[in-house]
Chain A
Amino acid sequence: MQCVPINSVKFDKRSIEGIERIKNINGFSSLLTKVIGIGTFANIFLGNKVPELTFNIYQTDWAMIHQSMMALPSIQRKIIEDEARYQILDHQLDYKQRQFWEGISYGCKIK
C-alpha cells in the first residue's frame, strides 16, 4: 500500500470550488483542526490562500487526511468521495490535480 506524494500541485477554479464544497460539510473543518491542526491539508482545507499557492503533498499528509476522513460519519465521507469523483472527471488530463482527487477518494488504495 503506497500513497502517492504530489509535488507542486496548483488548483484551478473547479478544484477550488470543490475544496470549498468540502469545507462546507458540517463538522469537517473542526474535525480537521482537531486531527491535523497544521500541515498541507490544513493549509488546503482550512486556509484561505488556496488560489495563490502550490502545494507539496507527502505520504504523512495523506495518512493524516485519511485519519480525519475515517472519523467522519459515513454519509459525509460519501459526499467527499462523490465530489472527488467528479473532480477526477473534470481533470482527466491534468495529472497532478487528478492525482490529488484520486488520493482524496481512494487514499492509499491506489498504487
Chain B
Amino acid sequence: MAVKLSKLLFVILLFSNLSCAVNAKDFEVSRSEIISHAKEKVNHSQKELDETIAKCRDNLPFIEKQKINNYDLSNEELFTALFYLSDKAITECEKITWGSYIFELSVLRSIEKHYSSPVTKTTDHEKLLLNNYWRKIKLELEYLNIDQPKRALIENDDLFKKPFDAVMTAKKLGI
C-alpha cells in the first residue's frame, strides 16, 4: 500500500514538475509575443491616428470674410476666438483616435516595465500632442476672458464647429 502511494506521489510530482516546465517555456514565449503584439497594436493605432490627423489638419478651408457675422469682438478678441475655436474643432475631430493611440502606448509601456524590457521612448506623435498643450490651456483661458454673451454668439455659429484654417482666416480678415 505504502509503495503504491509513494508511486502515485512520484507520478503526481513528476507531472507537476513537467507542468511547471511547460509554464516556464510558455512564459518565455509569451513575453516576447505579448510585447510584440502590444507593439503591433500601437503601430495599428498610430496608422489610424496619422490618417485622422491628415483628415483633421490638412488642406483646411478658411472662412471667407463675407460669411463672418458681426460678433461685436475687437480684432484681438476675434483673433483669439478664431485660434481657440479652430483648436477646439481639430481636437474634437482627432480626440477618439488620440485616445486609442495613447491607450495602446500606455499598455505597451506597462508591459515593457512589467517584463523589465527597455521602455518605449516619447514618440513624435506624443510630442505633437503634448509639446504645445500648455499653450492650448493658455489660449483657452485667454478665450474665456472674452465676455460670455460675445463668446456664445461665435460659438453657436456652425462655421466654427468644423476644423478650419485660423491663420488663413485671420489673414483674409486682415487681423
Per-position binary interface string of chain A over residues 57-94, scored 1 when its CB falls under 8 Å from any chain B CB and 0 otherwise: 00000000000000001111011011101101100100
Chain A residues within CB distance 8 Å of chain B: 21, 25-26, 73-76, 78-79, 81-83, 85-86, 88-89, 92, 102, 105-106, 110
Given A81-B57, A110-B171, 20 more contacts at CB 8 Å?
A25-B124, A26-B124, A74-B54, A75-B53, A75-B124, A75-B125, A75-B128, A76-B124, A78-B53, A82-B132, A83-B131, A86-B135, A89-B80, A89-B135, A92-B76, A92-B79, A92-B175, A102-B167, A106-B168, A110-B168
Within 8 A of A (CB), among B135-175: 135, 139, 166-168, 170-171, 175
Chain B residues within CB distance 8 Å of chain A: 50, 53-54, 57, 76, 79-80, 83, 124-125, 127-128, 131-132, 135, 139, 166-168, 170-171, 175
B167 nearest CB neighbor, chain A only: A88
- B167 near A105: Cβ-Cβ < 8 Å: yes
Please give the distance in Å from A76's CB to the nearest CB on chain B: 6
Question: CB-CB < 8 A to A83: which residues of B?
Answer: 131-132
- A89 near B124: Cβ-Cβ < 8 Å: no
Question: In the bound complex, how far is the Cα of B11 from the Cα of A32, in angstroms?
Answer: 70
Please give the distance in Å from B170's CB to the nearest CB on chain A: 8
A21 nearest CB neighbor, chain B only: B131
Residue among B53, B167, B168 facing the most chain A CB atoms (10 A cut-off): B167
Question: CB-CB < 8 A to A106: which residues of B?
Answer: 167-168
5 pairs of A and B residues whose beta carbons are closest in the complex: A75-B124, A86-B135, A79-B128, A89-B83, A92-B79
Question: In the bound complex, how far is the Cα of B123 from the Cα of A76, in angstroms?
Answer: 10
Question: CB-CB < 8 A to B170: which residues of A?
Answer: 92
The residue from B50, B53, B127, B167 contacting A85, defined by CB atoms under 8 A apart: B167
Question: In the bound complex, how far is the Cα of B8 from the Cα of A41, in angstroms?
Answer: 81
Question: In the bound complex, how far is the Cα of B165 from the Cα of A27, in angstroms?
Answer: 28
- Which secondary structure dominates where chain A touches chain B? helix
Question: In the bound complex, how far is the Cα of B62 from the Cα of A110, in angstroms?
Answer: 12
- B171 near A102: Cβ-Cβ < 8 Å: yes
The residue from A74, A88, A102, A105 contacting B50, defined by CB atoms under 8 A apart: A74
Question: CB-CB < 8 A to A89: which residues of B?
Answer: 79-80, 83, 135, 139
The residue from A73, A86, A92, A110 contacting B132, defined by CB atoms under 8 A apart: A86
B175 nearest CB neighbor, chain A only: A92
Question: CB-CB < 8 A to B83: which residues of A?
Answer: 85, 89
Question: CB-CB < 8 A to A88: which residues of B?
Answer: 167
Question: In the bound complex, how far is the Cα of B57 from the Cα of A82, in angstroms?
Answer: 10
Question: In the bound complex, how far is the Cα of B171 from the Cα of A39, in angstroms?
Answer: 28
Please give the distance in Å from B164's CB to the nearest CB on chain A: 13
Question: In the bound complex, how far is the Cα of B124 from the Cα of A78, in angstroms?
Answer: 10
